[in-house]
Amino acid sequence: MTIVLREEPLRSEPGETLDPQNWDELRAQGHRMLDDMFDYIAHVRQRPVWSPIPDDVRARFRAELPRRPSDLAEVYREFSDNVVPYATGNVHPGFMGWVHGGGSAVGMLAEMLAAGLNANLGGRDHIPVEVERQIVEWTRAMFGFPQGASGIFVTGTSMANLLAVLVARTAALGQSARQHGIGEGGALLTAYTSKAAHGCISKAMDIAGLGRDALRMIATDQCHRLDVAALRRQIAADREAGMRPFLVVASAGTVDIGAIDDLVALSALCREEELWFHVDGAYGALGILSPAIASRLAGIEQADSIALDFHKWGQVPYDAGFLLVRDGQQHRDAFAAPAAYLRRETRGLAAGSSWPCDLGPDLSRGFRALKTWFTLKTYGTERLGAIITRTCALAGYLEARILAEPRLELLAPVQLSIVCFRYRAADTNKVNGDIVIDLHESGIAAPSTTILDGQLAIRAAIVNHRIDTCDIDALISAVLEFGARRASAQDE
Ligand SMILES: Cc1ncc(COP(=O)(O)O)c(C=O)c1O
């Protein structure tokens, strides 16, 4: 082998790092930034929920790669002028779209501290990993899982569900599937979820190499809960046809209307049929913290795995998805992969095995656990549970206002804190779709839409802890105003 030496030696200037020459200046700038962000959160109600992005602002983010340094104050001014006013808006109490949490100033501070430590939680022996293990332990206790359960932070529940499918796949096929691929045995695997399940489940089947066709979408009852009898029949039919049922994914809070499947019946069926029982609790699982909701999650403690988002009802800033697995060994079996450069020791920084990288595909991992640890410790689970209860009460308030208003129509039973409704009009799907866009553009409120039985619904997901009755009242008034305008425009 020929080693080519450089002709010119590389020179290093003494003291040339990215740290500031003048820490006092950076400190003053940093304090301004922090104060501004506190002000932003404290006074967010005075802003529009969302603002359309002007062309010139969008164009600023098509700029050339910066080769020369800029002053931090100048970069921050650009952020203040061009990023802050055009953010998603989910910090705002008028934001009720999709299923977004509101975050908190405490979570923001923790995120800043985590960035300062710049810890890599792929592995090794340091307290940030212990902080994540602490959350695993707390989550294990929340759901009554046994000792030996394992867990891991991921971006969101889409990823947590994917990991769960992979753990269940390896449990069904054994380690050889990781080496040789899923093979003929894998081609026979079938999984089950309801028609109301989130689309990331079928995406997970696709990414796991099992294919979306192998996911049977079981019918639901009127309340959008998986029809357990239909599931039983489908499993029997698949066995009869020579398929290998291996996984049931239940929903604890469906994305459309917040329905909770019958987790007791499903866990019993999975035990009987020897199937992996996974619960997609992205939105609803943290309802376990609310005395008003917890009993409706009965059966979740029997799951083989649970996916959930601390960034939704847990109010942790994005992102903080989480997967909990009952049998930690099965979890490790799906992902652990030895490598010379990741050698484990019994002493020193490379000690502390097993490492989080043994529990998922990521090696480099940020310190998501810290903002969750700060949130759980600062507020406590009772207060977080009370917030969850309150969002459900606010959904009840919105439901009552809809039922009392003849121009509005409720489109689905309110089960947790999601309310689906519409303005009564001739071309109802068009009118209601336009109403939602009008709401966004007005900056008054930001619900989203979904389709229920072919009908477009205005969908208000009350997840953000800042939402109050005045925000619900503002939503109703604006829907009525925009609805009347849209309907009369149709008549003309
Ligand atoms: C039931 C359900 N599952 C999965 C997801 C996906 O979660 P994430 O957006 O955190 O990936 C969501 C998101 O709203 C959801 O409501």
| Cα 98 to middle of ligand 1, angstroms | 9
Q: Which amino acid is at 18?
A: L
Decide if 167 contacts 330 (C-beta within 8 A): yes
Using the mean position of ligand 1's atoms as its centre, give its distance from the Cα of residue 472 in Å: 24
What's the pLDDT tens digit per position in 453-478?
Answer: 999 999 999 999 999 999 999 999 99
**pTM confidence score:** 0.97
Closest residue by Cα to residue 360 from 324, 334, 322, 327: 334
Given a contact cutoff of 8 angstroms between Cβ atoms, the answer to whether 84 and 47 are in contact is no
Res. 373: pLDDT tops 90: yes
Average pLDDT over residues 128-138: 98
CA atoms within 13 A on the CB side of 63: 9
Whether 6 shows a pLDDT value over 80: the answer reads no
The DSSP letter of residue 362 is -
The yes-or-no verdict on residue 313 having pLDDT over 90 is yes
Would the CA dihedral through 356, 159, 213, 420 be positive or negative? positive
Q: Return the pLDDT at 489.
A: 85
pLDDT of 46 > 90? The answer is yes
Partners of 324 in beta bridges: 151, 306
On the question of pLDDT at 443 being above 60, the answer is yes
CA angle centred on 208, ends 202 and 209, rounded to 5°: 100
Selection from 114, 88, 123 nearest residue 375 by Cα: 114
Whether residue 414 has pLDDT greater than 80? yes
User: How far is the centre of ligand 1, averaged over its atoms, from the C-alpha of 267 (Å)?
Assistant: 21
300: CA distance to ligand 1 center in Å? 17
Cis peptide before 56 (omega within 30 of 0): no
Q: Tell me: pLDDT of 27 over 80.
A: yes
Asked whether 132 lines ligand 1 (CB < 6 A), one says no
- CA separation for the pair 379, 223 (Å, rounded): 33
Give CA–CA dist 357/377, Å, rounded. Answer: 26
Q: Return the ∠ at Cα 14 (arms to 9 and 20), rounded to 5°.
A: 130
CA distances to 128, 357, 468 from 146, rounded to whole Å, are 23, 22, 38
Ligand 1 pocket test target in 154, 198, 311 with most atoms within 8 Å of CB: 198
Decide whether any atom of ligand 1 lies within 6 Å of the 366 Cβ: no
The confidence band for 415, taking pLDDT boundaries of 50, 70 and 90, is very high
Question: Please, which residues have CB within 8 angstroms of residue 10's CB and are 6 or more apart in sequence?
Answer: none
Q: Is the beta carbon of 158 within 6 A of some atom in ligand 1?
A: yes
Residue 321 CB–ligand 1 contact under 6 Å: yes
**CA of residue 99 to ligand 1 center, whole Å:** 8
Q: Half-sphere exposure of residue 260, counting CA atoms within 13 Å on the CB side?
A: 24
Rounded to whole angstroms, the Cα distance separating 242 from 184 reads 12
What number is the average pLDDT over the span 255-273?
98
Q: Is 157 in the pocket of ligand 1 (CB under 6 A)?
A: yes
Residue in the structure block whose two tokens are 């307290």: 127
pLDDT band, very low/low/confident/very high, at 9 (cuts 50, 70, 90): confident
Cβ-based neighbour number of residue 345 at 10 Å:
12
pLDDT digits (tens, 9 = 90+) for 154-186: 999 999 999 999 999 999 999 999 999 999 999
Does ligand 1 come within 6 angstroms of the Cβ of 198? Answer: yes
Is there a contact between 188 and 213 (Cβ–Cβ < 8 Å)? Answer: no
Task: Judge if the beta carbon of residue 434 lies within 6 A of ligand 1.
Answer: no
- What average pLDDT does this structure show over 413-430? 97
Contact partners, residue 386, CB within 8 Å, separation at least 6? 290
Contact 84, 40 (CB under 8 A): yes
**CB 282 less than 6 A from any atom of ligand 1:** yes
Average pLDDT, integer, range 292-309: 98
Tokens 């459900």 map to which residue? 392
CA of 197 to the centre of ligand 1 (A): 10
Rg of the chain (C-alpha set): 25
Confidence check: pLDDT of 7 > 80: no
Q: Is 448 helix (H, G, I), strand (E, B) or coil?
A: strand
3-state secondary structure of 471: helix
The mean pLDDT of 345-358, rounded to a whole number, is 97
Q: Check whether 388 has a pLDDT greater than 70.
A: yes
* Mean pLDDT rounded to a whole number for the chain: 96
DSSP H/E element including 451: strand 448-452
Alpha-carbon span 441 to 278, nearest angstrom: 39
Cα distance between residue 342 and residue 351, in whole Å: 10
Do residues 191 and 250 lie in contact, with contact meaning Cβ atoms separated by under 8 Å?
no
pLDDT, average across residues 355-372:
98
Nearest alpha carbon, ligand 1 atom 16: 255
- Atom of ligand 1 at shortest distance to CA of 156? 10
* Interatomic CA distance for residues 296 and 314, integer angstroms: 18
Atom of ligand 1 nearest to the CA of 321: 10
Please report, as a single letter, which amino acid is at residue 334. Answer: A
280 lines ligand 1 (CB under 6 A): yes
Q: Is the pLDDT of residue 15 over 90?
A: no
Ligand 1 center from residue 379 Cα (angstroms): 24
Is the minimum distance from the CB of 281 to ligand 1 under 6 angstroms?
Answer: no
Q: Which of 372, 368, 364 lies closest to 123 in space, CA to CA?
A: 364
Query: Residue written as tokens 């509005």?
Result: 408
298 vs 306: CA distance, rounded Å:
13
- Do you know the residue count of the chain? 492
Strand pairing category for 215-218 and 189-194: parallel
H or E segment and range at residue 191: strand 189-194
Q: What is the pLDDT of residue 225?
A: 98
| pLDDT on residue 5 | 63
CA pair distance 183, 245, nearest whole angstrom: 16
| Confidence at residue 111, expressed as pLDDT on a 0 to 100 scale | 98
Q: Would you call 326 exposed, middle or buried from its count of C-beta atoms within 10 A (0-12, 13-18, 19+)?
A: buried
183 burial via Cβ count (<10 Å: 0-12, 13-18, 19+): exposed
For residue 241 the two structure tokens come to: 């046809």
- Percentage of residues in the chain with pLDDT exceeding 90? 95
Distance 282 CA to ligand 1 centre (A): 5
Q: Do residues 322 and 160 touch, judged by C-beta distance below 8 A?
A: yes
Q: What string of H, E and C letters represents the secondary structure of 298-324?
A: CCHHHCCEEEEECCCCCCCCCCCEEEE
Q: Is 468 helix (H, G, I), strand (E, B) or coil?
A: coil
